[in-house]
Structure 1
């Protein structure tokens, strides 16, 4: 073949031609991709399973701890209830005993007062003889009424009856002035100036009175006037009891 000097020459390359090579390369390429994908998939799945197993174990452990805690709380709650119930029973029993003791003390005090009262009548001290005002009690019945009780006695010389009149007065202040109110102005059951009495050992005069709104009681006065062979005059004055809570 003639070659012209100075002209461009093309190189001829000779290669071995295999018709199935391209197909095999394409097949291997996709096979590699599939293997890598499958490997990644199984590796991820394995790792996920491991993670799930770990989390499941932790969950089971936490559930066990929670169950134990709930049981502990229930046990503690039951113990608290038992202790509270026991404490309430103890408090009720203690309060019941205290109330019983208070009632017994009140009964003993009342009995001692009665014994002293009767001893004073039957066996008085030296010089304590004749008509006496032994006791005056004033108690508030409600907001506007007051109960009173006055005990008259005949000490030592009680072989016969004694009779006469008892005058009861309430002394206090009204509009800055001292006022004496007789019982008949305070107790609707009393209509006479004096209350008649007749007894051998003792007699109780009692009732319910109402005080005027503008009247401030300060004292209660009892005047006894016996008649007949045992005629004598006895007077006793006591401070008006102040309501509870006042000095």
Structure 2
């Protein structure tokens, strides 16, 4: 809890203690003088009214304390969210500068990162980050396909793009970008297939094909590195 919130809570508690103290003194004052003969009806009703008033004050103070705590939690959550947004923006800037900055190293068409996320036992969602800054300003167009090597029944097996997409004539995923782009899609592995390696194949409309391989464990365990996230 922040210092301001603590001071607010302490202040509420102090008011509550004072209210209860004055309430007790008031009851003693009303009943003390007539204690030998018992309280009158008027005194009794006045006491009941005072008790209800004090109960209402306690309820109000308790609610105020709860609101203060909730507001503090909301503030902390908002600050945490803003810090994450700032970190993300800084990561985006670092990523952009790596490819479009004046001192950026020139690189041709490549798969900067390939990430796989399980959807079901056989279905996987992939995210491929494509990059290039060799031809500045030029638009790169083409198609992306994946293939997966693994074992099934103790034998090596390679699944091409058509089998992964469960369409024999499946087209690759189209891409078109100047510096970087993320391509997302779904692939499906057959039952009892143990994947070992995944290969991303980029076929530009004009230019030579680019193949890049990643171990399955590397792609499946890939995290959103703050320095590698494109916006």
Deviations 1:66-120, CA, capped at 9 Å, x for gaps = 6676456434422331232112212321232223223323322332232222212
Residue 170 of structure 1 and its aligned partner are, at CA, apart by 5.0
Look up the match of 2:88: 110
- How far apart are the structure 1 equivalents of 2:47 and 2:122? 63
How far does residue 132 in structure 1 lie from its aligned partner after superposition?
A: 2.4
Q: Which has the larger radius of gyration?
A: 1
SS in 2 for 1:208: strand
Instruction: Give distance in 1, aligned partners of 2:221 and 2:186.
Output: 16
In the alignment, structure 2 segments of 5+ residues that lack a partner are 1-34, 223-231
Q: Distance in 1 between matches of 2:85 and 2:105?
A: 31
- CA separation of 1:196 and 1:173: change in aligned 2, threshold 3 A: same
Please give the root-mean-square deviation of Cα atoms over the aligned residues, in Å.
Answer: 4.5
Q: 1:229 to 1:166 in 2, by over 3 A?
A: closer
Structure 1 segments unaligned to the other structure (5+ residues): 1-56, 243-247
Separation in 1 of the partners of 2:142 and 2:37?
Answer: 100
TM-score by length of 2: 0.54
Shift of 1:154: 0.5
Find the counterpart in structure 2 of residue 92 from structure 1: 70
CA distance in 2, matches of 1:225, 1:159: 19
Query: 1:141 & 1:59 partners in 2: Cα distance?
Result: 81
Contact in 2 for aligned 1:219/1:240 (Cα 8 Å): no
2:61 is equivalent to residue 83 of structure 1:
yes
Question: Greater relative contact order: 1 or 2 (C-alpha under 8 angstroms, separation 6 or more)?
Answer: 2
Superposed counterparts of 1:1-247, under 5 Å? 60-61=38-39, 70=48, 73-123=51-101, 129-139=107-117, 146-158=124-136, 160-162=138-140, 165-170=143-148, 181-187=159-165, 191-192=169-170, 194-210=172-188, 214=192, 220-224=198-202, 232-237=210-215, 238-241=218-221
Q: What is the TM-score when the length of structure 1 is the normalising length?
A: 0.52
